[in-house]
A and B are shown apart, each in its own frame.
Chain A
Amino acid sequence: MRLFTENSLPRELFTRGFFIAGGAFCLTSLVLLVAGAPPWPAFYHLFVGALGSWSKLAQVLMVWIPLTLCACGLLYSFRIGLWNIGVEGQVVAGAIASTAVLRFGLESGSPSLMIVMAFAGGMLGGSLWAILAGFLKTRGGVNEIFGGLGLNFVAQGITLWLIFGPWKRPGVGSMSGTELFPESLWLPTILSARLSPAGLVLTVLALVVAAWVLNRTRLGLALKGIGSNPRAAYLHGLNPNAYFVIAMGLAGGCAGLAGAFQVAGVYHRLIPVISSNYGYLALLVVMLASYRVWGSPWIAFFFACLNVGSIQLPIVLKLDSSLSGIIQGALVLTTLLVYALRK
Chain B
Amino acid sequence: MRIALRDIRKEYGKVNANDGIDLEISEGSIHGILGENGAGKSTLMKVLAGYTVKTSGTILLNGRPVVYDRPSQATRMGIGMLYQDPLDFPPLTILENFRMGLDCGIVSREEAYRQRLREMADHFGFHLDPESAVQRLTVGERQQLELVRLLALGVEVLILDEPTTGISSLQKQALFRALRKLAEEGKTILLVSHKLEDVEALCDRITVLRRGKVEGDMGLPFESGKLLAWMFGNELPPPPCFERRTEKGVVTLAMDGVSASGGRAGLMPCRLAVRRGEVVGLAGLEGSGQGLFLRLAAGLEKPETGKIKVAEEDMTGKDHHAYRARRVTFLPAGRLEEGLMPGLTITEHFALQQEQGMMIHWPKARERAEQGIERFRIRGTPLSAAESLSGGNQQRLLLALLPTNPLLLLLEHPTRGLDMDSVQWVWGKLMAYAVEGTSIVFSSAELDEIFQMAGRVLVFFNGVVVKDVRTCDTTMEELAKAIAGKG
Contact = CB atoms under 8 A, between A and B. Distances in A.
B339 A5 contact: no
B377 to A, nearest CB: 22
A229 B334 CA distance: 12
Given A218-B359, A221-B360, A235 B343 contact: no
Contact of A222 (B324, B352, B385): B352
Given A221-B360, A235-B332, A237-B321, A229 B348 contact: no
A217 B348 contact: no
B341 interface: yes
A228 B321 contact: no
Given A224-B344, A224-B348, A229 B359 contact: no
Interface in A111-136: none
Nearest to A5: B343
Query: Secondary structure of the B side of the interface?
Result: mixed
B235 interface: no
B275 interface: no
Interface string A230-250: 011111111100000000000
B390 to A, nearest CB: 18
A216 B359 contact: yes
Nearest to B383: A7
Interface in B281-335: 320-321, 324, 330, 332
B348 A221 contact: yes
A232 B343 contact: no
Given A218-B358, A222-B352, A237 B324 contact: yes
A216 B352 CA distance: 12
B160 to A, nearest CB: 33
Nearest to B360: A218
Contact of B343 (A6, A216, A234): A6
Interface centre among B321, B341, B344, B349 (most CB of A within 10 A): B341
A78 to B, nearest CB: 13
B360 A225 contact: no
B343 to A, nearest CB: 5
B351 interface: yes
B352 A229 contact: no
Interface of B: 320-321, 324, 330, 332, 337-344, 348-349, 351-354, 357-360, 385, 401
23 contacts: A2-B343, A216-B360, A217-B360, A218-B359, A218-B360, A219-B358, A221-B344, A221-B348, A221-B360, A222-B352, A225-B344, A228-B343, A228-B344, A229-B338, A229-B341, A232-B338, A233-B341, A233-B352, A234-B320, A235-B320, A235-B339, A236-B401, A239-B321
Given A225-B341, A233-B352, 11 more contacts: A2-B343, A216-B360, A222-B352, A224-B341, A228-B341, A228-B344, A234-B320, A235-B330, A236-B349, A236-B401, A237-B324
